[in-house]
Amino acid sequence: MAAGFLTQLSAGAVEVRSAGSLPADRINPVAVAAMAEVGIDIATQVPKVLTAEAVQQSDVVITMGCGDVCPVFSGTRYLDWDLDDPAGQDLPAVRPIRDEIRRRVEALLDELLPARSGGEQLTSRARRAGAGPGCRRR
Protein backbone atom coordinates (compact mmCIF):
# COMPACT_ATOMS: atom_id res chain seq x y z
CA MET A 1 0.00 0.00 0.00
CA ALA A 2 2.86 2.39 0.81
CA ALA A 3 4.44 1.77 -2.58
CA GLY A 4 1.12 2.44 -4.30
CA PHE A 5 0.70 5.75 -2.49
CA LEU A 6 4.34 6.75 -3.07
CA THR A 7 4.07 6.02 -6.77
CA GLN A 8 0.82 7.90 -7.27
CA LEU A 9 1.37 10.85 -4.96
CA SER A 10 4.94 11.54 -6.13
CA ALA A 11 3.75 11.61 -9.76
CA GLY A 12 6.91 9.80 -10.83
CA ALA A 13 9.34 12.03 -8.91
CA VAL A 14 10.33 9.13 -6.63
CA GLU A 15 11.65 5.76 -7.76
CA VAL A 16 9.75 3.25 -5.64
CA ARG A 17 10.76 -0.31 -4.80
CA SER A 18 8.66 -2.69 -2.73
CA ALA A 19 9.94 -5.93 -1.20
CA GLY A 20 9.84 -8.04 1.94
CA SER A 21 12.02 -10.56 3.74
CA LEU A 22 9.21 -13.13 3.64
CA PRO A 23 6.95 -12.01 0.80
CA ALA A 24 3.62 -13.73 0.28
CA ASP A 25 2.80 -15.51 -2.97
CA ARG A 26 0.46 -12.70 -4.00
CA ILE A 27 -0.59 -9.25 -2.91
CA ASN A 28 -3.14 -9.32 -0.09
CA PRO A 29 -6.54 -9.16 -1.87
CA VAL A 30 -8.01 -7.06 0.95
CA ALA A 31 -5.18 -4.53 0.52
CA VAL A 32 -5.91 -4.52 -3.22
CA ALA A 33 -9.59 -3.78 -2.51
CA ALA A 34 -8.73 -1.07 0.04
CA MET A 35 -6.43 0.68 -2.40
CA ALA A 36 -8.97 0.37 -5.22
CA GLU A 37 -11.39 2.32 -3.03
CA VAL A 38 -9.02 5.30 -3.22
CA GLY A 39 -8.32 4.90 -6.93
CA ILE A 40 -4.97 3.10 -6.77
CA ASP A 41 -4.60 -0.24 -8.55
CA ILE A 42 -2.00 -2.51 -6.95
CA ALA A 43 -3.56 -5.73 -8.27
CA THR A 44 -0.80 -6.37 -10.80
CA GLN A 45 2.04 -5.97 -8.30
CA VAL A 46 4.05 -9.07 -7.49
CA PRO A 47 5.63 -9.61 -4.04
CA LYS A 48 9.43 -9.54 -4.20
CA VAL A 49 12.20 -10.65 -1.87
CA LEU A 50 14.11 -7.84 -0.19
CA THR A 51 17.73 -7.79 -1.32
CA ALA A 52 20.75 -6.01 0.08
CA GLU A 53 21.22 -4.42 -3.35
CA ALA A 54 17.72 -2.87 -3.29
CA VAL A 55 18.34 -1.46 0.19
CA GLN A 56 21.78 -0.14 -0.75
CA GLN A 57 20.36 1.61 -3.84
CA SER A 58 17.67 3.38 -1.80
CA ASP A 59 18.04 6.71 -0.03
CA VAL A 60 15.05 6.03 2.22
CA VAL A 61 13.87 2.59 3.33
CA ILE A 62 10.47 2.25 4.97
CA THR A 63 10.07 -0.90 7.00
CA MET A 64 7.15 -2.29 8.92
CA GLY A 65 8.38 -4.41 11.81
CA CYS A 66 11.85 -5.00 10.41
CA GLY A 67 13.97 -5.76 13.45
CA ASP A 68 17.43 -7.12 12.59
CA VAL A 69 16.39 -8.77 9.32
CA CYS A 70 16.97 -5.78 7.03
CA PRO A 71 20.51 -4.98 5.89
CA VAL A 72 21.82 -1.62 7.09
CA PHE A 73 24.01 0.66 4.97
CA SER A 74 25.47 4.03 5.88
CA GLY A 75 23.90 6.88 3.96
CA THR A 76 20.52 5.17 3.87
CA ARG A 77 17.72 6.56 5.99
CA TYR A 78 15.49 3.98 7.70
CA LEU A 79 11.92 4.61 8.83
CA ASP A 80 10.15 1.83 10.72
CA TRP A 81 6.41 2.39 10.54
CA ASP A 82 4.91 0.34 13.35
CA LEU A 83 1.47 -0.36 11.88
CA ASP A 84 -1.01 -3.18 12.27
CA ASP A 85 -0.46 -5.95 9.75
CA PRO A 86 -3.38 -6.07 7.29
CA ALA A 87 -2.81 -9.78 6.62
CA GLY A 88 -5.84 -11.81 7.66
CA GLN A 89 -7.97 -8.75 8.38
CA ASP A 90 -11.20 -7.74 6.68
CA LEU A 91 -11.73 -4.56 4.66
CA PRO A 92 -13.18 -2.45 7.50
CA ALA A 93 -10.07 -3.24 9.59
CA VAL A 94 -7.67 -2.50 6.72
CA ARG A 95 -9.13 0.92 5.85
CA PRO A 96 -7.64 2.74 8.87
CA ILE A 97 -4.26 1.08 8.21
CA ARG A 98 -4.43 2.28 4.60
CA ASP A 99 -5.37 5.78 5.71
CA GLU A 100 -2.48 5.95 8.20
CA ILE A 101 -0.06 4.76 5.52
CA ARG A 102 -1.32 7.54 3.25
CA ARG A 103 -0.80 10.17 5.98
CA ARG A 104 2.76 8.98 6.55
CA VAL A 105 3.53 8.85 2.83
CA GLU A 106 2.21 12.39 2.36
CA ALA A 107 4.38 13.66 5.24
CA LEU A 108 7.44 11.90 3.81
CA LEU A 109 6.80 13.30 0.34
CA ASP A 110 6.41 16.82 1.75
CA GLU A 111 9.88 16.36 3.22
CA LEU A 112 11.48 14.71 0.16
CA LEU A 113 9.75 16.90 -2.40
CA PRO A 114 9.61 20.38 -0.87
CA ALA A 115 8.03 21.71 -4.08
CA ARG A 116 4.86 19.88 -2.97
CA SER A 117 4.62 22.30 -0.05
CA GLY A 118 6.13 25.37 -1.73
CA GLY A 119 9.82 24.79 -0.94
CA GLU A 120 12.92 24.14 -3.03
CA GLN A 121 12.99 21.70 -5.92
CA LEU A 122 13.67 18.00 -5.43
CA THR A 123 17.28 17.00 -4.93
CA SER A 124 18.58 13.97 -6.78
CA ARG A 125 19.40 12.28 -3.45
CA ALA A 126 15.71 12.23 -2.51
CA ARG A 127 14.59 10.51 -5.68
CA ARG A 128 14.82 6.90 -4.54
CA ALA A 129 12.74 5.35 -1.80
CA GLY A 130 12.26 1.73 -0.91
CA ALA A 131 8.80 1.14 0.48
CA GLY A 132 6.14 -1.39 1.00
CA PRO A 133 6.17 -4.56 3.00
CA GLY A 134 9.58 -3.78 4.39
CA CYS A 135 10.65 -6.78 6.41
CA ARG A 136 7.31 -8.22 7.32
CA ARG A 137 4.95 -10.37 5.29
CA ARG A 138 2.10 -8.23 3.97
**96: pLDDT strictly greater than 90:** yes
Residue 104 lies in a domain: yes
Q: Which residues contact 115 (CB under 8 A, 6 or more apart)?
A: 121, 122
* pLDDT of the residue at 70: 75
CA distance 113 to 135: 25
Please tell me which residue, 72 or 118, carries the higher pLDDT value: 72
Residue 136 lies in a domain: no
User: Model pTM?
Assistant: 0.80
**124: pLDDT strictly greater than 80:** no
Give the number of domains in the chain.
1
Residue 14 lies in a domain: yes
Residue 133's pLDDT band, with cuts at 50, 70 and 90, is very low
Query: In which domain, by residue range, is 116 found?
Result: 2-130
**122: pLDDT strictly greater than 50:** no
Residue 138 lies in a domain: no
Average pLDDT in the chain: 83
Per-residue model confidence as pLDDT tens digits over 5-53 = 999 999 989 999 999 888 889 999 999 999 999 999 999 999 999 888 9
The enclosing domain of 123 has a CATH number of 3.40.50.2300
